[in-house]
Amino acid sequence: MPFHLLFRNLTGHWLRSLLTILSVAVAVFLICVLHAVVTGLSRTVETASSNRLLVQSAVSLYVDLPLAYQQKLASVPGVEAICKWQWFGGRYEQDKGGFFAQFGIDPDTFAKSYPEITVTEGSYEEFQKTRTACIVGADLASKYGWKIGQTVPILGTIYQRTDGQPWQFLVAGIYESSTPTIDQQTLYFQFEYLRESLETGGAQGPDGIGVYMLKVAEGHDPVEVQRASDALFENGPQRVQTTTEAEFNRQFVTMLGDVPTLMQMVGSAVLFAIFFAVLNTMIMAGRERTKDIGILKALGFTDATTALLLIGESLLLCALGAALGAGLGVALEPAFQATVSAMMPGFGFDKDTLLLGTGLALAIGLVSGVVPGIRAARLTTVAALKEIG
């Protein structure tokens, strides 16, 4: 097998080869990103806790529930703790174009309900004690260079301070999360700080709670707690929908539509586009080499060898493109994670994702090489040499 011929043929049309390699690289990179999105979403759902339930308005997540519901929910048998979650929707003054989530929560029950969160810098006790304190995810702190004891100014969009000034949150702790369900890009502050500000007229905005988190006591069936919670408000004043954390995450994700199906469709389109591009390149290469095929056969190379040369060239093109695309994915992974981890904490280019991208590229290379390869094998020496006069 004249392997050097395989490489020379590639470099002989270096621009075409380079463009094909880059096309495959971009396609592999895109497929890896799309696959990482799908797996990231499913990981967020799969790793959700089974003993946490979330209560939201039956109408929509955008409709708040009355504060008084907490007391009623506490009476449901099996509820060990309740933690309020209120979306704040503010913007960091120093980076108005940037986005990260802020939630008002109950520090005492939050710590009990989310053992996956560990404060690695600062003190959770300080967070509990200080009304204006907050804890921030390690990635978020790293992104903005926040330190313990620093005050973070957040401009309210839903909740605006009446003095027109930004809210000031004191960084009391930096947390890390051991589960993809909870990202490291969120700022949690005391809900009481928000409530007091609203009650005293220091701020204005809707009252109520977006979501109540119920921690189910050990030995109790979450399904029963779910039913009881829903039944409690069946006759109003505002009906609720209680779901498992997994279901809540799934619903949250599907608010954007059927993301996995959409990703698969886009991925398939990318695959087909690149398949046709590589196939076109290889068919052109095969036709251009009709003369070379005739020469090789005249010299004594078999039909199989001439076919394998084209298949090998196609595989090499796609393998180089796949390596470049996968390498690009690995290199850009931190940047991607920093961008999407708030929405998708489980996002990442794992081994399966990279293998999928590379495997698909090689499959494309194989099929694209087989088409001109079969032609080369079938071509008689005389016909191949005649074609060039």
Partner 1 sequence: MTDSRIDIRRLTKTYQRGGETVHVLDELDLGMEGGTFYALMGPSGSGKTTLLNMLGGLDVPDSGDVLVGDENLSQLSGNELAQWRSQNVGFVFQGFNLLPVLTARENVELPLLLTPLSKKERRAQAERALALVGLTDRMDHKPRELSGGQEQRVAIARAIATDPALILADEPTGDLDRTTANSILELLQRLNRELKKTILMVTHDPEAAGYADKVIHLDKGKLGRIEDNRKPAGAR
Residue among 69, 63, 111, 66 nearest 87 (CA)? 63
What letters, b where the CB count within 10 A reaches 16 and e where it falls short, cover 130-158? beebbbbbbbbbebbebeeeeebebebee
Q: Which is nearer to partner 1, 139 or 303 (CB)?
A: 303
Least separation, in Å, of the C-beta of 385 and partner 1? 7
Q: Which is nearer to partner 1, 298 or 355 (CB)?
A: 298
Q: Which is nearer to partner 1, 219 or 300 (CB)?
A: 300
C-alpha torsion 235→240→244→250, nearest 10: 130
Least separation, in Å, of the C-beta of 2 and partner 1? 5
Least separation, in Å, of the C-beta of 16 and partner 1? 13
List residues binding partner 1 (CB under 8 A): 1-2, 4-5, 8-9, 11-12, 291-292, 294-303, 380-382, 385, 388-389
Least separation, in Å, of the C-beta of 180 and partner 1? 50
Least separation, in Å, of the C-beta of 324 and partner 1? 23
Give kind and range of the element (H or E) at residue 212.
Answer: strand 211-216
The answer to whether 203 and 163 are in contact (CB under 8 A) is: no
Pairing of strands 79-87, 101-105: antiparallel
Q: Which is nearer to partner 1, 4 or 96 (CB)?
A: 4
Least separation, in Å, of the C-beta of 326 and partner 1? 29
DSSP single-letter state for residue 165:
P
Pairing of strands 79-87, 211-216: antiparallel
Least separation, in Å, of the C-beta of 11 and partner 1? 8
- How far is the first Cα of the chain from the last one, in angstroms, to the nearest whole number? 27
DSSP bridge pairs for 151: 170
Residue among 88, 59, 53 nearest 73 (CA)? 53
Q: Which is nearer to partner 1, 7 or 99 (CB)?
A: 7
Q: Which is nearer to partner 1, 93 or 387 (CB)?
A: 387
- Gap between the Cα atoms of 34 and 30, Å rounded: 6
Q: Which is nearer to partner 1, 328 or 385 (CB)?
A: 385
What letters, b where the CB count within 10 A reaches 16 and e where it falls short, cover 60-85? ebeebbeeebbeebeebebbbbbbbb
